[in-house]
């Protein structure tokens, strides 16, 4: 890595089937930034984050590998952008502990994701769920990251990462780069197809509310056909038209058409035609990803060689940061 180039880092949890929310809100931008930005990109599968919720070991192992394969399927090039599994780079846990001691209880208590998840998993409000944002800060700060491509729901966590970095730098001098979120204009928050006032989430029990990146084309089309809209019957962006606004954003992300072009193309046409078009466009944009994914999952040795190489590169950078932090804190070498 060359020192004065910008660094881009992001991660994704292997906590369920990845949805088009993950794709259009985050992953698509990872690929875009890798291909267009004059920067070094590093990406990870955040398996340590995922155990804040109980996982079944055999399924979890499979899901970690699948999530890794999806990253390569969307076009992350492991030769260009180190791509690794978080638990393989021990410095993430190490720095997270240290940063815990520079994070206030009150700050963590204010995190909306913590409040929401402690309600949905009321039987398991563990300390990891509470300190989740300090692990995320460690992920980011280890690589001296400048930009973090994420969906809008992660903005608050990013702000806390900045606060922690600034606090640490304030005490010890310039140790960490203070990261900035990169939140897309389009699809920063893809909404549920069944309740468009709620974020699309893979943990939603109603499977018709979310579309998985690996869903079959006919299932994708069916879910869009059932999407909740309104009684206005006009394909246009508008207040109170959450369902249609969401579908227009998704269609726009899948086709590259602007909202104005979409409104023009569907003037005088019904919601049925529009929902079918959105479903078909999404299915088509995901087709090559699914095909690549099926190929990659047949080649586990290749996947292993990629995540091992990714972890080696990441470890070298992470080790440098942790050494610097340890020295600043006063640990004996």
Of 7, 8, 10, 310, the one binding ligand LTN by CB under 6 A: 10
Span near ligand ATP by CB under 6 A; candidates 148-156, 268-276, 283-291, 316-324:
148-156
**Residue 288: both structure tokens together:** 């090559």
117 carries an active-site annotation: yes
Shortest Å distance, C-beta 12 to ligand LTN: 6
Q: Which of 31, 117, 223, 241 is catalytic?
A: 117
* Cα(254)–Cα(166) distance, integer angstroms: 38
CB atoms near residue 93 (< 10 Å): 13
Binders of ligand ATP among residues 15 to 74 (CB under 6 A) are 15-16, 21-22, 25-26
- Minimum Å distance from CB 204 to ligand ATP? 8
Among 92, 202, 223, 241, binds ligand ATP (CB under 6 A): 202
Please confirm, yes or no, whether 202 is among the known catalytic residues.
yes
Only one of the segments 77-85, 162-170, 199-207, 322-330 lies at the binding site for ligand ATP (rule: CB under 6 A); that segment is: 199-207
Closest CB to ligand LTN among residues 182, 293:
182
Q: Do residues 25 and 184 touch, judged by C-beta distance below 8 A?
A: yes
Q: CB under 8 Å, gap of 24 or more: what pairs does 214-223 form?
A: 214/17, 214/18, 214/70, 214/286, 214/290, 214/293, 215/286, 217/283, 217/284, 217/286, 217/287, 220/279, 220/282, 220/283, 220/286, 221/276, 221/279, 221/280, 221/283, 222/279, 223/193, 223/279
Residue 225 in the binding site for ligand ATP (CB under 6 A):
no
Single out the residue of 194, 260, 268 nearest to residue 234, CA to CA. Answer: 268
* Interface residue list for ligand ATP (CB under 6 A): 12-13, 15-16, 21-22, 25-26, 150-151, 153-154, 187-190, 199-203
Active site residues: 117, 199, 202
């Amino acid at each position: 890595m060359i020192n004065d180039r910008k660094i881009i880092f992001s991660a994704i949890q292997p906590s369920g089937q990845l949805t088009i929310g993950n794709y259009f809100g985050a992953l698509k931008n990872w690929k875009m930034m890798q291909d267009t930005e004059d920067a070094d990109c590093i990406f990870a599968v955040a398996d340590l984050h995922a155990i804040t919720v109980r996982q079944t070991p055999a399924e979890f192992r499979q899901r970690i590998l699948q999530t890794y394969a999806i990253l390569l399927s969307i076009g992350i090039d492991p030769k260009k952008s180190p791509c690794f599994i978080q638990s393989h780079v021990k410095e993430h846990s190490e720095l997270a502990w240290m940063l815990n001691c520079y994070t206030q209880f009150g700050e963590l208590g204010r995190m909306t994701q913590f409040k929401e998840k402690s309600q949905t998993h009321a039987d398991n409000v563990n300390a990891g769920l509470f300190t989740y944002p300090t692990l995320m800060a460690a992920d980011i700060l280890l690589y001296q990251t400048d930009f973090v491509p994420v969906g809008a729901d992660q903005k608050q966590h990013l702000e806390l990462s900045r606060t922690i970095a600034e606090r640490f730098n304030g005490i010890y001098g310039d140790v960490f780069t203070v990261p900035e979120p990169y939140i897309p204009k389009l699809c920063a928050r893809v909404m549920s197809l069944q309740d468009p006032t709620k974020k699309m989430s893979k943990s939603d029990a109603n499977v018709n509310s979310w579309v998985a990146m690996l869903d079959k084309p006919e299932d994708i089309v069916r879910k869009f056909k059932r999407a909740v809209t309104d009684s206005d019957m006009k394909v246009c962006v508008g207040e109170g038209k959450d369902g249609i606004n969401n579908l227009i954003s998704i269609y726009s992300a899948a086709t590259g058409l602007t909202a104005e072009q979409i409104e023009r193309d569907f003037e005088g046409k019904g919601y049925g035609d529009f929902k079918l078009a959105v479903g078909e466009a999404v299915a088509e944009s995901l087709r090559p990803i699914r095909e690549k994914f099926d190929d990659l999952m047949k080649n586990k040795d290749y996947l292993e060689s990629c995540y091992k190489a990714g972890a080696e590169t990441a470890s070298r950078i992470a080790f440098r940061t942790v050494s610097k932090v340890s020295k600043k804190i006063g640990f004996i070498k």
